[in-house]
Structure 1
Amino acid sequence: MTTQSEWKATGRRKTAVASVKLLSGTGIFHVNRRLLEDYFPESAQRLAVYKPLELSETLKKFDFEARVRGGGLTGQADALCLALSRALVRWQPEIRPKLKEASLLTRDPRMKERKKSGQPGARKRFQFSKR
């Protein structure tokens, strides 16, 4: 274990970007200067954020301050999950295999496909008329 008292990391998902600062503490989590429970109203989003902390058994051991921007709330929660996982690996590299097995260190590359010209959407075509 290192003597450093804070660990920083960044995570991305779709167009959402999360920067997290992991601090030694008692389990108080802030996202964009608001409590985690206030920022993410849905329990599924909160569970996604807590997952790396629960797997590493450090839920009440750390506080974190996160800044998220872009995308929607679910994308932001997933970006925050990746950032937390990366920060935990910086804190203690022995946790890496456990987080990697749960696919928490993999950046999801799926992005929204762009709209093409001559079409109403990314893949949809205008109605074809034979006559």
Structure 2
Amino acid sequence: MSFSAVQRASAASISPIQFEKVVVAWDGSRVAARAVGDALPALALAKTVSVVTVGDEPDDAAPAASLVRNLVAHGVAAQAEKIALKISVGAALRDHVHEVGADLLVMRAYGHSRLRDFVLGGATRSILADPLVSVWLSR
């Protein structure tokens, strides 16, 4: 006597997640550039992408303009924004993401050593402690 098993399954339906408003936390570092590169497919599908720098110095926004030009060349609807440093970079980013109603935050993960971030705190740790939106991290 022989038995045969037949497995029947319906076709799976997969729909990509699309983020409409994306905030990119930009500090001009290699790790931040990697995060943007990794997230480029999602950025290209977004309706708006805000490249945000945090700080009080006039020169803080300069690298963001260069990134915006690069993203626009890749078909991304990007703009640069500068936000004031509040209590911390993480707090400033979290408040901004909430204020603009973003769906996704793209940022580098752990820019400093994890020990330093643990002792002094860090933007990554702050965002992940209380995420208001989806967070795309790269390192």
Which bracket does the TM-score occupy, shorter chain normalised? under 0.3
Identify which of structures 1 and 2 has the higher relative contact order when contacts are C-alpha pairs closer than 8 Å and 6+ apart: 1
Q: TM-score, normalised by structure 2?
A: 0.26
Q: TM-score, normalised by structure 1?
A: 0.27
Which has more helix, going by share of residues? 2
